[in-house]
Amino acid sequence: MEFYKAQKNNRLFEEFVEPRISKYGKIFKTSLMGSPTVVVNGAEANKFILSNEFKLVISSWPSSSVQLMGRNSIMEKQGDQHRCLRGLVASCFSSSGMETLVPKICSTVQSHLDKNWHGKDTISLYRSTKLLTFTIVFECLLGINVEPEMLDIFERVLEGAFAPPVNFPGSKFSRAKKARVEIAKMLAKIVDEKRNEMENNSEGEGEGKGGSMLLSRFVAAMIQGDITEEEVIDNVVLLVFAAHDTTSFAIAMTFKMLALHQDCYNLLLQEHADITSNQRTEENLTVEDVKKMEYTWQAARESMRLFPPIFGSFRKAVADIECEGFTIPKGWKVLWTAYGTHYDGEYFQDPQRFDPSRFEEFVPPYVFVPFGGGPRLCAGYQLAKLNILIFVHHVVTRYDWSLIYPNESITMDPLPFPSQGMPIKISPKLSRDI
Ligand code: HEM
């Protein structure tokens, strides 16, 4: 009960984790959703649990998430099947993949701003970045055109992902299941079309027969018999789920922290002014330009340190485990948390302070874990990074902006979001010299 109360108020660390660490130490036992659970905190424990995925623990998602993402999604896979799916996703982030992705994301961000920001003076930053992230996953990563009703249907599925798995009419979960059936139909048609196109055209669309977009890579693997159509569909749904609320929350918190720390914002603006001044007019950014956004990435990481989009996640012990002198019996749940290191003065001096420059120093492994770690380290980390950096670049070079509610609270349900959608005032800059 205390866990859910603290979570709802976005005070999971202050009201649940921290008091128990003070009383029992970094590893403690509790009961969550009726299951005995061991909560682990600290770099050593993060490393032990996360790197022993498949050997001592396996990931453990609520039944509603598994039913809605599908039993064939990467989060349910282990061994060779897990490796195969991860390999397909990772192939999009090779150096040639990045050369393709950067200009595509740039064009998508620019047309998103032209279409949704132009002529407005107020924008819900959180909602806007949700739509953008959705479009980037579909159009830039997968190579599927977004149709107008798609976001709504997907959001209905995502709303049920953490709801109680009760199937009575009108419940969040049953609405989500219905939407999931619609999505499966829609994706099956898209996969069939892609399969026909690829079978009838041995040239493919660039980069070998499979083409460079993820849907083509999935379908090529399907034609070869490495994965099934259900695996393609479940993993498209999972990728949208994994990217959606996380990336938009990271962007929203980065803007919030920059608004509250004008000195940091000035440094960031300078970085983007330097990039713009070296750019030939109206051209898309290049991979090299994105590499120059070092301070911006420090600011985004510092925001994710303070406001991790995923506070941690659950595992299930598949053997009796000894962890730092604590025994975790087989069958128990384990919850690793980002807070347990992000807010610990042992790893980050004055941990409550927003200070992007702390990322100039080397951060030891398993200390900064917004993207998790070990075999289940976020598979879309590079896409999230490009999405955040390219969006920040285009907004700060095109707009002056300010928060409408600087003290807007954050709600967790169970993922965090700004309770009022983070409305901002915007006005176009008169020149792009910043
Ligand atoms: C700021 C944005 C993001 C954050 C903070 C984030 C965070 C995470 C975390 C913490 C995990 C590990 C969960 C665990 O250990 O149980 C994870 C896994 C995953 N993420 Fe992300 N993520 C982000 C964006 C994305 C994007 C954009 C994609 C892809 C389009 C993506 C795809 C995935 C996938 C497929 C997994 C499962 C990996 C596996 O099970 O092997 N994520 N993410």
Tokens of 65: 């998430």
**E strand or H helix at 2:** helix 2-8
Is residue 433 domain-resident? no
3-class secondary structure, 316: strand
Q: Ligand 1, closest atom to CA 250?
A: 1
Is residue 434 domain-resident? no
Please indicate whether residue 137, judged by its CB atom, sits closer than 6 Å to ligand 1: yes
Please indicate whether residue 252, judged by its CB atom, sits closer than 6 Å to ligand 1: no
Q: Residue 248 phi/psi, 5° resolution?
A: -70, -35
DSSP secondary structure string for all residues of 174-232: HHHHHHHHHHHHHHHHHHHHHHHHHHH-TT-SSTTTT-SSHHHHHHHHHHTTSS-HHHH
Beta carbons within 8 Å of 81's beta carbon, 6+ residues apart: none
Is residue 279 domain-resident? yes
DSSP state of 53: B
Domain span at 262 = 2-428
Report strand pairing: 35-40 vs 333-337: parallel
Is residue 143 domain-resident? yes
- pLDDT value, residue 413: 85
Please indicate whether residue 213, judged by its CB atom, sits closer than 6 Å to ligand 1: no
Q: In this structure, which amino acid lies at residue 80?
A: D
Q: For residue 187, what is the domain's CATH number?
A: 1.10.630.10
- pLDDT value, residue 240: 94
- pLDDT value, residue 212: 84
- pLDDT value, residue 433: 56
Please indicate whether residue 88, judged by its CB atom, sits closer than 6 Å to ligand 1: no
Q: How many CB atoms lie within 10 A of CB 153?
A: 15
Is residue 237 domain-resident? yes
User: Model-level pTM?
Assistant: 0.96
Query: Along the chain (434 residues), what's the average pLDDT of each consecutive run of 10 residues?
Result: 84 92 94 91 97 96 92 95 97 95 97 97 98 97 94 93 88 95 96 95 56 93 97 96 96 98 98 89 87 98 97 96 93 95 96 98 97 98 98 98 97 92 96 60
d(CA 346, CA 380): 29
- pLDDT value, residue 275: 95
Annotated binding site for heme: 378
The CA-atom distances, in angstroms, between 355 and each of 140, 305, 331 are 32, 10, 40
d(CA 48, CA 170): 42
Is residue 190 domain-resident? yes
State how many domains the chain has.
Answer: 1
d(CA 304, CA 300): 6
Is residue 41 domain-resident? yes
Gap from CA of 400 to ligand 1 centroid (Å): 31
To which residue do tokens 């799916």 refer? 85
Handedness of CA 336, 159, 244, 81 (dihedral sign): positive
Q: Residue 269 phi/psi, 5° resolution?
A: -60, -40
CB 237 within 8 A of CB 70: yes
Gap from CA of 94 to ligand 1 centroid (Å): 18
d(CA 433, CA 184): 47
Is residue 24 domain-resident? yes
- pLDDT value, residue 246: 97
Planar angle of CA 29, 32, 37, nearest 5 degrees: 35
